[in-house]
């Protein structure tokens, strides 16, 4: 098998992965639009907040991992890119503390 054939197959499979990730992001966006109407009762406010936060986090991770090419970067660069996750975790903890106070 030549290098060109291998390279061509890799490019095709990469395109399939990116299209799949794009479709998953679209599905998660539709879920984000559906969650507020599904959990509109007052007693479901916490569930709605947690679900929307999880969906947004999943979308952000997919975008960073695939479309920002962090999957193929060196590990130390991944750690630098993950630093905002600590702030996100702190915000989630503060939101939960406010809700359950």
3-state secondary structure 66-101: HHCCHHHCCHHHHHHHCHHHHHHHHHHHHHHHHHCC
Q: pLDDT band for position 8 (50/70/90)? A: low
What are the pLDDT digits (tens) for 31-82?
999 988 887 777 777 788 888 888 998 998 888 888 877 777 787 777 777 7
End-to-end CA distance of the chain: 64
Helices (H) and strands (E) in the chain, counts: 4, 0
Distances (CA, A) of 62 to 23, 36, 41, 68, 71: 11, 22, 30, 9, 10
Tokens of 37: 């109407």
Whole-prediction pTM: 0.66
Structural domain including 67 reads 3-99
Which three-class secondary structure state does DSSP give residue 32? helix
**Number of domains, the chain:** 1
For the chain, the maximum distance between any two Cα atoms, rounded to a whole number of angstroms, is: 64
């Amino acid at each position: 098998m030549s290098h060109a054939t291998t390279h061509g197959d890799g490019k095709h499979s990469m395109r399939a992965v990116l299209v799949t990730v794009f479709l998953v992001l679209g599905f998660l966006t539709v879920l984000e639009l559906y969650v507020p109407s599904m959990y509109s009762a007052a007693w479901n406010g916490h569930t709605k907040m947690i679900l929307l936060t999880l969906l947004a986090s999943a979308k952000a991770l997919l975008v960073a991992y695939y479309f920002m090419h962090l999957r193929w970067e060196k590990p130390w660069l991944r750690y630098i890119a993950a630093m905002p996750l600590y702030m996100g975790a702190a915000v989630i903890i503060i939101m939960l503390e406010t809700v359950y106070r």
